Amino acid sequence: MELYIGDSRDIVVTQRDMTGAKKINVKRNRKGDIVLYDTDEIITAKIENFKDSPAVLTMIQHIPGQWDMEKCTLDKKELKLGVGYKKKHANTLEFEIKLPARTEAGPAVKELKMHYHRRNIRPGVNIRPEPSIIRR
């Protein structure tokens, strides 16, 4: 059971899309239109803890469609599926990030970098093939 108490302002996450969904493995038809492609995506998230006590942040990332992770690192240390992060659903990942307390110099910073490929994307088709069934 979960109780939503409120929003936190002491832990800040800044997420950036570094590549803008670059197309790779592009397959074209005779006319030259793209019919199938994969993408190469890198997402970085900078997490800062401004609190005086350590905290654990559960971060949920969504990746639509068919995908596979190329490399996932937290502060340059590699995370493996099942060990470093969990797959809650075909399109949902859950990371548990332990953050130390802030220091005199400033907030505690951790950087999560996800490098993954989205596969077999057909242009014109709705990216989400399956409505995710989330229990309310």
Enumerate binding residues for another protein (CB under 8 A): 27-31, 35-36, 65-66, 87-91, 119-120, 122, 129-130, 132-133, 135-136
Residue closer to another protein, measured from CB, 53 or 132: 132
Shortest CB 129 distance to another protein, Å: 6
CB of 85 to another protein, least distance (A): 15
- Rounded least distance, CB 30 to another protein, Å: 5
3-state SS track over 1-66:
CCCCCCCCCCEEEEEEECCCCEEEEEEECCCCCEEEEEEEEEEEEEEEECCCCCEEEEEEEECCCC
Which residue is associated with the tokens 């470093």? 84
Q: How far apart are CA 34 and CA 56, in angstroms?
A: 44
Q: Report the sign of the C-alpha dihedral through residues 120, 121, 125, 130, in that order.
A: positive
CB of 56 to another protein, least distance (A): 24
Q: Closer to another protein at the Cβ: 54 or 129? A: 129
Considering the complex, state which of residue 96 and residue 130 has its C-beta at the smaller distance from another protein: 130
Angle at 67 between CA 61 and CA 69, to 5 degrees: 70
Among residues 68 and 75, whose Cβ is nearest to another protein? 68
